Amino acid sequence: MTVIVLSGPIGAGKSSLTGILSKYLGTNPFYESVDDNPVLPLFYENPKKYAFLLQVYFLNTRFRSIKSALTDDNNVLDRSIYEDALFFQMNADIGRATPEEVDTYYELLHNMMSELDRMPKKNPDLLVHIDVSYDTMLKRIQKRGRNYEQLSYDPTLEDYYKRLLRYYKPWYEKYDYSPKMTIDGDKLDFMASEEDRQEVLNQIVAKLKEMGKLEDDWKPNLVK
Ligand SMILES: Nc1ncnc2c1ncn2[C@@H]1O[C@H](COP(=O)(O)OP(=O)(O)OP(=O)(O)O)[C@@H](O)[C@H]1O
Ligand SMILES: Nc1nc(=O)c2ncn([C@H]3C[C@H](O)[C@@H](CO)O3)c2[nH]1
Interface pTM, i.e. ipTM = 0.95
Answer whether residue 222 is part of any domain. no
> Strands (DSSP E) along 61-215, which ranges?
75-77, 126-131, 180-184
Report if pTM > 0.80.
Answer: yes
Least Cα distance to 9 among 157, 204, 177 occurs for: 157
Domain count along the chain: 1
* CA distances for 133 relative to 162, 186, 217, angstroms: 9, 7, 35
pLDDT band at 223 (very low <50, low <70, confident <90, very high): low
Whole-number Å distance, alpha carbon 11 to ligand 1 midpoint, is 5
In whole angstroms, give the CA distance from residue 21 to residue 205: 10
| Domain-located, residue 38 | yes
Does the annotation mark 78 as catalytic? yes
On whether residue 83 sits in a domain, the answer given is: yes
Write the CATH number for 16.
3.40.50.300
Res 222: pLDDT: 60
Ligand nearest to the CA of 148: 2
The pLDDT tens digits for 88-137 are: 999 999 999 999 999 999 999 999 999 999 998 999 999 999 999 999 99
- The answer to whether position 216 is within a domain reads no
Q: Is 199 a pocket residue for ligand 1 (Cβ < 6 Å)?
A: no
CB of 10 within 6 A of ligand 2: the answer is yes
User: 104 lies in a domain?
Assistant: yes
Which domain range does residue 151 map to? 4-211
Q: Is residue 217 part of a domain?
A: no
